[in-house]
Copies of this chain bind each other. A is one copy, B any other.
Amino acid sequence: MKKINVKKGTVLQRKGDINSKVYLVESGLLRSYIIDEKGKEHIYMFGPENWLVTDNCESDIPCQLYIDAIEDTTINVASKEELLKEGPDLNALLRRLNTMQNRIIMLMSSNAKKRYEHFISTYPNITQRVPLKMVASYLGITPEALSRVRNELSQQK
């Protein structure tokens, strides 16, 4: 477990890297994402304070996610083997599973407006910290669509 500081914009991991690490965010903000065959980014996860960011792949195969820093960030880095040896935090794992389950259900059953509402209730403090287009990318919609959803929501009040 090694503590490092990275500047905004630093790429910690690229698709295809072997032996991808686990990043525990102490302060700042990371994101993990894929780039599809059209060159479009899809954000898989934001990693604010206390979040664990990693590619959930075996450590000896090429990973599929890019991970970079959206803000200047302080991280604790560990290898997966290391974490497995010292016995991982089971409750954290279960919480992670729950978060992913909710995300899948949201993606399957919600329209743009409900996805956004779900997002701001799950990550209330992140909305201000990341550009709208990244939120859109996380939700699986375009920036234009999200802009219109926001408009609609603010007019309702």
Contact = CB atoms under 8 A, between A and B. Distances in A.
A4 interface: no
Copies of this chain, count: 2
A60 to B, nearest CB: 13
A94 interface: yes
A107 interface: yes
Contacts of A55: 101
A93 interface: yes
Contact of A105 (B58, B64, B90, B97): B64
Interface of A: 34, 36, 40, 42, 44, 55-58, 64, 84, 88, 90, 93-94, 96-98, 100-101, 103-105, 107-109, 140
